[in-house]
Chains A and B, each alone.
Chain A
Amino acid sequence: MPRLVSHPDEVKIVTRRFGMGAAEIDRYIELGGYESAKKCLEQGPEFIINEMKASGLRGRGGAGFPTGLKWSFVPKQSTKPKYVLVNGDESEPGTCKDHLIFLHDPHAVIEGTVIAGLAIGAKTGFIYLRGEYRYLIEIVEKAVADAYAKGFLGKNIFGSETEFQVIVQTGAGAYEVGEESALMESLEGKRGVPRIKPPFPAVVGLYGGPTVINNAETIATVPHIFAMGGAAYAAVGSERNGGTRLFGISGHVERPGVYELPMGYNLKKMIYEVAGGVRGGRQLKAVVPGGSSTPVLLPSEIDLGMDFDQVGKAGSMLGSGGVVVIDDQTCIVEFALRTISFYAHESCGWCIPCREGTDWLKKSLTRFHAGFGTMKDIDNIQYLAENMMGRTFCPLGDAAAMPTIGFVKKFRKEFEDHLNGKPCPFAKHVEVALV
């Protein structure tokens, strides 16, 4: 069972009910649950969207798109049914926050889904969880059944004339399915190959109907916004970055875990104070700030506010909020190899720069790490990765190229140390068996 952690700097909004038995519906109600949905049902779509805009909430799935704005793009009139789709595919290496939300507070996800549905005029919401999360799927399914039994879901939610149904769906193993249009394909019973955009999901999404798709943390935050008020939520965070975020700190720290901290919280403090510093008294070598696809930061770059804009300005991304901390005994070439191997494994194969590029990069880095690289290889790796950027059908190509470019640029010296038959200075050897 995943361990819960705590730190005085945390501002517990989304994690407020963690460890309190809130997966049980009566307990959830006792803790104020479903009041926000009732309020939203009374107040109507315009109120919901205005409050969401005021909250400054930006999507927690990775890109940080303002949630209220996303909801406002859905056309009011539609001949086809509209849908809400909750993305719980959570497969970006370094990311395990949605896991805790489903485990400890599944009703927050359901309540958020209802509110999103009210905002856009949808009658059905889907909650899609990665297949590996079977025990969580069972928890969410039970929560949904309990919500039906109470009349919070169904033909007449909370005794009103409004209908809202929730369907829980399992995936079956595929990172790429986390991409929004690939997720819709998967939910339609197909291979997870992304769709061409435009049209965007808000106009043509699931089953051809207008669809709002949001990350599970984004959706779980929604009820709290209506409990505390949009402006109060916004005030917790930094400029243009409302509220808190669930940061999953993993790797070489003393106290890894998921911590809820205000947006804009300093990364250095996060590592050294909140997570207890680098494990075993070692030195920090690098930080991957937002899941495996975000470019690496050097120790000199971590005096940094962790919000979408500041991390972006520092040349990386806040991404999924998965902070991976790397100590000085780690081989960066090996780390880069393991990272690209993941993307090579997960590329859906639809477009050539991604399918071939990730494979080439994996092969070059494997050779390199084994000590058979040449000086020219270093440039080639960078050149290849740079030429994948922006030339792929979906952002997975960029997600693979960006970290690779970062590793080569920032740790060139370490790549050079592996040249011409020299063994890896860290003497560890990775042979990625995955194909």
Chain B
Amino acid sequence: MHPASSIIVFTVLSGLGYGLAAFLGLGLLDPSAFATKVAYISALVLIAGGLLSSTLHLGNPRRAWRAFSQWRSSWLSREGVLSVLVFVPLAMSAWLCAMEGRYSAPIGIAGSLLSLATVFCTSMIYASLKSVQAWHTRLTSACYLLFSLAGGALLGSAFGVAGSGSASPLSFFALVLLISAWTVKIAWLRHLDSLKPLSTPESATGLGAVGRVRLFERPHVTENYLTSEMGFRVARKHAAKLRKFALLLGGLLPGALVFLVLAALLAGAEAGGAAILALMAASLSHIIGMLAERWLFFAEARHAVMNYYGG
């Protein structure tokens, strides 16, 4: 599948924003701290930026409001509805924190639940497509949710340390979630690598009873919407390198940084600029790793229609 940058940026940024919002909603950060106020604003900015980017790939963005209507059947519509609904508790929580330095558990928890539900809907847009076998597994949703939470905990722990001047429980969550997310992601990759194609040129043409089927000629000599949208192929050697790159920047490096900060703070070190900087660097590294992970999520997935195009 073609890795469209608007969709990659959208899923990474909004995923991170929702993850951060989910942790903020639990009230683990001191609402009177300045850093917590910044955290709330950052979550909203990340989510809004992601959503804006997602409209960039629409053919008719002016009609985007219509996408709220089919929540009964469409995961994309559900995602659209929730992504707007979630703004109500998130904006309220942000207001309470920024203006009054307060935290309200019911509003916060509603925001956390809706944030995770939105990420789940995003993941189901992909996981529900039978035509893209790599995505059509429950592991897809697990990956999206865990990566969103891991990123959120990571960024949240930077704000937490900055706000409280001491170790934040979020650093611990970040470590656990990074490990879980990558464990599931590696299972997802194993699943992808071991896939036996559900559909083949034989089943696509119904000619399997006659013999082995091979594309002889494409319908047109030039590319078309289908081949550019679904015919994207990434060379195996590049994919292997990028997988390592994603794991390194999206998992190992931020994990190591959080671990070091956590160990230092627990050993009694002062939670100064270095700790905050390290956690910020960990978050940034995680974002870059996630961009690579998401790029591969699309680039490595094969669409069933390629059985008709010899791909």
Partners in one complex: no
Interface residues of B (CB under 8 A from A): none
